[in-house]
Amino acid sequence: MSDPEALGRKLIRARMELVLGHPFFGAMALRLLPRPDSGCVDLWTDGETLGYNPAALAHRDEEAIAAMLAHEILHLACEHHLRRKGRDATLWNKACDLAINGLLVEAGFRLPAGYAFDPAHAGSPAEAIYAVLAGRHEERRGGGGAGESKTEASPADTAPGGGGGDTPFAGRARDPQAAPPGADLSDAKKQRQSAAGDKAAEQQNSQNRTDLPGEVRDHPELAGDDSERKRQELAAKVRQDVNQSLRAASDMGRLPAALARRLGEPARPRLDWATLLRRFILARAISDYSWSPPNRRHIHMDLYLPSPRSMILGDVALAIDTSGSVDERLFRAFCSELSAILEACDTRLLVYFCDAAAGEALVMVRNDPPPALAPKGGGGTDYRPVFAKVEADGLTPACLIYLTDLECDRYPAEPPYPVLWAVPGTARSRPPFGEVLHLPR
């Protein structure tokens, strides 16, 4: 085996090659903690750790190691470490490799020896490829039950955020002595729970292991909590990292078109922006009904049902970026459409003008004349102050709409209410949370 210090320098140089030549992969790689592991084929990751076999890497050049690192990064960007859900670890790794290695080649890397590639699977989601591989595996076994979970195609390999398969994670034995959530635990019970958690993590790590190069393993936090809520929390963090890395690569002019298509904004919907805005807002409204008079549509069937009286909607917050990036004509059209939508609802509109700071809310109600909003301000943009102001005002709006150009990377943590980013059609960035509505120029 080569000198550990020399190997360490080789890893550092390979990672720096990614930072300079492939900044998306470099930014993502810097978030992983390297750890030697002689038990793996070459590299593995679980979203937190980058495991590597020193003996295997000693015989690879820096270009190959850089490609292997990029391979691991694509596993994370496509959330493969969060999406296995009880599937066979070896078959899942094969499926994930076939899903991403074509993209790796499109991004300008040369696949290292031993890394699988099949153009027939290029662009397919890992879940769909897994179903094909599992079927072949069953044929070789004579059609007997393999104990695999059912699979379905997921969009996560075409855009971050997807998740395929609906079968809960297998092999999760619940400790019969564990107390229910919220109960007081004695020290003895806490120790038993801790030991059970360590055992589950160890069992999961063993289940994760394969004899394949470029492994992806389940995120360590899924060992003790494989709930969908935990999965979504971890996925949100991954998407934020991916979006920030995409922006960094785009700013440097080194974002490959293949990555932009696969990991960037999904295809734009064909519905016009006004319809999408109306749908987003009215989906949060509650219909108010009255028995006087009853609904006439059903009286002929001797059914006396209440008739709709109005739409009740909680506060709607509107944040307007005043940094000079929003076109005035587009701004007027947006405000006009928003006014027409809110006329149908019993609600308040809270308008916040902001750049690097947020002002006091301008409150408008249903019977007020159409808003004649005149943004004032300029300079830098910071998205955090508006969300902080909403919280400081003690508000939990039905939704928040942010009119901006997304030329900012200062985002807050995801709030407990829906967020819609209304942006120019030319905007290329992706926010770490919320929905995006593209407005025409």
Paired strand residues for 294: 306
Determine the CATH number of domain 273-439. Answer: 3.40.50
Q: What is the mean pLDDT of residues 113-129?
A: 85
Helix (H, G, I), strand (E, B) or coil at 409: coil
Task: Report phi then psi at 20, rounded to 5.
Answer: -85, -40
The domain ranges of the chain are 4-263, 273-439
Asked if pLDDT for residue 155 goes beyond 50, the answer is: no
Q: Higher model confidence: residue 344 or residue 405?
A: 405
CB within 8 Å of 428: residues ≥ 6 apart: 250, 260, 264, 265, 406
Asked if pLDDT for residue 68 goes beyond 90, the answer is: yes
Q: What is the mean pLDDT of residues 363-369?
A: 71
Range of weakest confidence among 15-24, 364-373, 408-417, 428-437: 364-373
- At residue 178, the pLDDT reads 39
- At residue 113, the pLDDT reads 84
Task: Give alpha helix (H) positions in 252-369.
Answer: 257-263, 273-282, 328-342
- At residue 166, the pLDDT reads 31
Q: Is 4 exposed, middle or buried (0-12, 13-18, 19+ CB in 10 A)?
A: exposed
**How many Cα atoms within 13 Å fall on the side-chain side of residue 216?**
30
Element (H, E) at 140: helix 126-141
Highest mean pLDDT among 224-238, 257-271, 329-343: 224-238
CB within 8 Å of 82: residues ≥ 6 apart: 47, 163, 218, 219, 222, 231, 234, 235, 238
Q: Higher model confidence: residue 372 or residue 90?
A: 90
Q: What is the mean pLDDT of residues 278-302?
A: 62
Q: What confidence tens digit (pLDDT) does each residue in 407-426 have?
A: 888 899 999 999 999 888 77
Do 28 and 78 touch, CB atoms closer than 8 A?
no
Q: What is the mean pLDDT of residues 14-40?
A: 91
DSSP 48: S
